Each structure stands twice: as C-alpha cells, then as structure tokens.
Amino acid sequence: MQTLRHPFFLLCFFLFLLNQVLELSGIFLWPLHTHLDDLLCLPLALTVVLAAERWYFKRPGFVLPVSYILSAFAVFAVVFELLLPLFFTRYTADALDVQAYAAGGLAFYLILNKPLP
C-alpha cells in the first residue's frame, strides 16, 4: 500500500490524531480545534479511496478524476455545513470550514493524486 505511505498522507494522519488527542484531553486550540479536521478530511478520505481503487483494480497508475474530488467536496460541504446544522444544534455552519474543505481537496489533487511509478 504505497499510496498510504505517502509522506503527506502520513503527516495529515498524524496531525488528525494529534488534534483528536488534544480535544479528548480537553485542550482546544483555535484554529486547530475549529478547522483542522475540515482541512484534513478530504486528503485523508480521498487517499483511502484512491488506495482502495488501486488495490482492488490492480492499477497503480490510477488517479481520481477531478469530478470525484469536486463531488467529495460538495458532499462534505453540503452535509456538514448546510444539512446537519439545520437539524442538530451541535453542528454549526461555517464558511471557513467550506474553505478548509476546498483547500484540503486542492492539496489532495496537487500532492497525493499522482500515479505511482
């Protein structure tokens, strides 16, 4: 699983875990607490999807089409920033989170979504 060993993916995964440990310890650092998970979710989720596609279809050169990345961005933004805040007070809509999703999707596209040699 060379895809899941990419240094940028591992960095995102480590930062996500660190942020979760801080939050579980009661340490909430702005902007990490409010936006880091949103920034990291698309690189993490899409890399797992990319790795699964490459493994299942045995195509190491496969890259996710831009339409997949844009669709994932749209789903995360609509569900977490539009729908969930309408039905649950625990969730709040935040335009900065949408920007974080976009930045994460762009980072995935530019850094992680490359064919393997």
State pLDDT tens for residues 51-76: 999 999 999 999 999 999 999 999 99
In a domain? residue 28: yes
Range of the domain at 56: 2-112
What b/e string do you get for 51-83 counting C-beta neighbours within 10 Å, with b at 16 or more?
beebeeeeeeebbbeeebbeebbeebbeebbee
- In this structure, are residues 28 and 89 in contact, taking their beta carbons and an 8 Å threshold? no
Residue at 60 is within a domain:
yes
Q: How far is residue 85's CA from residue 94's CA, in Å, rounded to a whole number? A: 10
Number of domains in the chain: 1
What pLDDT, on a 0 to 100 scale, did the predictor assign at position 74? Answer: 98
In this prediction, residue 1 carries a pLDDT of: 77
- Taking the C-alpha atoms of residue 22 and residue 113, their distance in angstroms, rounded to an integer, is 29
pLDDT digits over 22-59, tens only?
Answer: 999 999 888 888 999 999 999 999 999 999 999 999 99
In a domain, 6, yes or no: yes
Position 99 scores a pLDDT of 98
Is residue 70, in this structure, part of any structural domain at all? yes
Does the residue 7 lie in any domain?
yes
Instruction: Flag whether 117 is in a domain.
Output: no
